[in-house]
Structure 1
């Protein structure tokens, strides 16, 4: 089943809605201490943080203007935050203008990511982030 422009848009919007709800849950005054609340299945089962552990805390730090704290928690936080801001706007633009610029961009990026040199570099970066998460006891 091939990914179409509409399916990609629905997937991204759905992920953003869940992400915004999750972020609101963590920022709201009703839930200020989430240090003991773990969602990561990998960490629950193995006790070892995954490469994305700390991303929510990092995005929360970004929303508070604590950028250094976000980098120290998990640099992937910036990628997630930027994606959550830009992609809904981009999708709205495409829908209004009846274009597929996000889908075309996605296809171009996907073609680049399967190139061995880029794929290996990204895998190494994820592994380094994972090692760093383990080393700092996240």
Structure 2
């Protein structure tokens, strides 16, 4: 069974996780797209909510959400990005068992 899983496993693509074993805030990004391709949106969301929502944001940016983002003050955008990455890192650390939640 493990040989079958390895055929579809892209391996660890994150350099931080490959070198240290600690996941980065965007770990799970590849898994998001694999799960979406397999029609498992809930699994994609659980792998990395930030990557999934970011991909949706990029896809919908031409429809108007991009203008609203760039209209924000640069300090507010930086704060939103920082807080989002911090929360994402906590999510990934919990997902990989580094934090008991």
Over the aligned positions, Cα root-mean-square deviation in angstroms equals 2.9
| TM-score using structure 1 length | 0.51
Which one of 53, 77, 80 corresponds to residue 27 of structure 2?
53
Rounded Cα–Cα distance in structure 2 between residues aligned with 1:56 and 1:81: 15
Rounded Cα–Cα distance in structure 2 between residues aligned with 1:64 and 1:44: 25
- CA shift, 1:132, in A, is 0.8
Instruction: Give the 3-state SS of the residue equivalent to 1:52 in structure 2.
Output: coil
Rounded Cα–Cα distance in structure 2 between residues aligned with 1:86 and 1:121: 18
- CA shift, 1:122, in A, is 2.0
Rounded Cα–Cα distance in structure 2 between residues aligned with 1:82 and 1:59: 15
Runs of 4+ in 1 over 6 A off after TM superposition: none
Tell me the equivalent position of 2:3.
none
CA contact (8 A) 1:56 1:77 kept: no
CA contact (8 A) 1:59 1:80 kept: no
Rounded Cα–Cα distance in structure 2 between residues aligned with 1:120 and 1:128: 12
CA contact (8 A) 1:50 1:130 kept: yes
Find out whether 1:77 has 2:36 as its counterpart: no
| TM-score using structure 2 length | 0.67
Tell me the equivalent position of 1:119.
78
- CA shift, 1:109, in A, is 4.5
Rounded Cα–Cα distance in structure 2 between residues aligned with 1:38 and 1:56: 10
Instruction: Give the 3-state SS of the residue equivalent to 1:53 in structure 2.
Output: coil
Structure 2: give runs of 5+ residues left out of the alignment. Answer: 1-5
Structure 1: give runs of 5+ residues left out of the alignment. Answer: 1-29, 91-104
Cα deviations by residue, 1:3-51 (Å, 9 ceiling, x for unpaired):
xxxxxxxxxxxxxxxxxxxxxxxxxxx94133xx112111112211011
